[in-house]
Amino acid sequence: MAAQVDPAEASAVGENPEPPPPALDGATRVILVRHAVTPFTETGRVDGRGGADPDLSETGLDQARRAAEAVRALVETTDDAGDVHLVTSSLARTVQTGAAIAAALDVHPVLDDDWDEQSFGDWDGEVFVELATHQADDLMRLWQDRDYRRPGGESFAELETRVLRAYEKALEAGGTTVVVTSRKPILVVLARVLGIDEQRFWALTTDPASLTAVELWPDGRASVPFVNRTAHLA
């Protein structure tokens, strides 16, 4: 049986509709691209700032081209993309991924080492599985203690400070900024926008050569249209 509606209530609703949300035009967009795979990625090795700094593998070079086309298509289909900027970290894998995107967008990339991956010190080049087996407690501290650092490395707190500094510069540029970086810097940005801490952001997936987007609207609201977009790699 259909629910009965009080005509007086229906009239009231019709006469006093909820006000529409404020118009949101001219968002500042940051497209975060994780670098494509390297031999270290493919063998599950720790690869941070200050380590071996490997180049992309053959698979990685193909992924970079695919990611570049996906970024180009995304920018071209965004009606109010505004000026388009391209920033990469200083690491070889991001520079090479960024070079493919620069060619696709016909823009000049700018290097900013604040977007570099965290430095893992004496663990650079080690195999994650072996660390999880033989140094599980220290590995857990690296994931959960924001002030823990490996010898010769940096803490999460130090990483967060420089990445958020770089993120603010990207927002100040306006328009659309494509940033080619690594996994943990992307998670730092998402944690800030979503209001989650570093112990919870591990639930977010950011695969190699994936795309993630953040939008900042004129009224101060931030949104995350998508995370870990990888359809271009299929």
**Which residues are identified as catalytic?**
35, 117
Burial class of residue 15 (count of CB atoms within 10 Å of its CB; 0-12, 13-18, 19+): exposed
CA-CA distance, 95 to 89, in Å (whole number)?
7
CA-based nearest residue to 94, from 169, 24, 185 = 185
Burial class of residue 231 (count of CB atoms within 10 Å of its CB; 0-12, 13-18, 19+): exposed
Q: Left, alpha or beta for 19 (phi > 0: left; psi -120 to 50: alpha)?
A: beta
Q: Which residues is 92 bridged to in the sheet?
A: none
Which residue spans within 1-59 are E strands per DSSP?
Answer: 28-34
Take residue 166 and report the two structure tokens written for it: 């770089």
Burial class of residue 133 (count of CB atoms within 10 Å of its CB; 0-12, 13-18, 19+): exposed
CA-CA distance, 43 to 58, in Å (whole number)?
14
CA-CA distance, 66 to 34, in Å (whole number)?
13
